[in-house]
């Protein structure tokens, strides 16, 4: 979602912008900028580009983090590991696209949507486990992850999107009966 949007295109609610906030669990130099969505926050900008490990907190200043907007970490080439605390439900389009050194991703069980191209061209990812509550995995979500060898899909997954695993290194995959 573009920064100049005043209303959420999904729900139509007004987006209130807040000032950058540092997380209590991340390094002091890592700063997240957030937007308010009802009683929750959405991360819309990250200004800690030298960090190798990023923890997406479950809350900032007592307000829960429910998602990451589009392109927040796009082309942050120093990132090697991303850990999501429980609570995040949405990862936006292109959120981690082009993070070439990203090797480890720990997604939360609370996650229900991964946007289009969210992890595309993250060429260092070798394996990923998709959480059980996921409802949507966007088009080309892991496209271009040429070293991705193993993906664990949840048993209740209903749909595999176009190009979700195109140009990856996957040779074997178990597709759940529910797809």
Task: Report pLDDT digits (tens) over 51-88.
Answer: 899 999 999 989 999 999 999 999 999 999 999 999 99
List of long-range contacts for 150-159, beta carbons under 8 Å, 24+ apart: 150/126, 151/127, 152/127, 152/128, 153/179, 154/130, 156/132, 157/130
Identify which has the larger pLDDT, 14 or 72: 72
- How many angstroms separate the CA atoms of 75 and 126, rounded? 18
Instruction: Name the phi and psi angles at 38, rounded to 5.
Output: 55, -120
What value does the mean pLDDT of the chain take?
86
Checking if the pLDDT of 46 tops 70, the result is yes
126-137-37-47 Cα dihedral, nearest 10 degrees: 30
- B/e letters for 30-51, b = 16+ CB within 10 Å, e = fewer, are bbbbbbebeebbbbbebebeeb
pLDDT in tens, 95-107: 999 999 999 999 9
| Matching residue, tokens 């307000």 | 63
Judge contact between 32 and 24, C-beta under 8 A.
Answer: no
**Does 62 or 21 have the greater pLDDT score?**
62
pTM across the whole model: 0.81
């Amino acid at each position: 979602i573009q920064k100049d949007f005043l209303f959420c295109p999904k729900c139509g609610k007004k987006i209130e912008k807040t000032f950058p906030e540092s997380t209590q669990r991340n390094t002091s130099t890592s700063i997240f900028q957030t937007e308010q969505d009802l009683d929750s926050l959405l991360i819309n900008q990250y200004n800690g580009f030298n960090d190798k490990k990023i923890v997406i907190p479950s809350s900032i200043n007592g307000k829960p983090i429910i998602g990451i907007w589009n392109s927040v970490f796009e082309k942050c080439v120093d990132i090697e590991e991303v850990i999501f605390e429980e609570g995040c439900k949405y990862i936006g389009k292109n959120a981690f696209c082009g993070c070439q050194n990203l090797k480890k991703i720990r997604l939360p069980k609370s996650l229900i949507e991964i946007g289009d191209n969210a992890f595309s061209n993250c060429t260092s990812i070798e394996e990923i486990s998709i959480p059980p509550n996921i409802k949507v995995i966007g088009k080309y979500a892991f496209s271009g992850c040429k070293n991705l060898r193993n993906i664990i899909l949840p048993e209740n997954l209903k749909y595999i999107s176009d190009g979700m695993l195109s140009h990856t290194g996957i040779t074997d995959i178990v597709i759940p009966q529910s797809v």
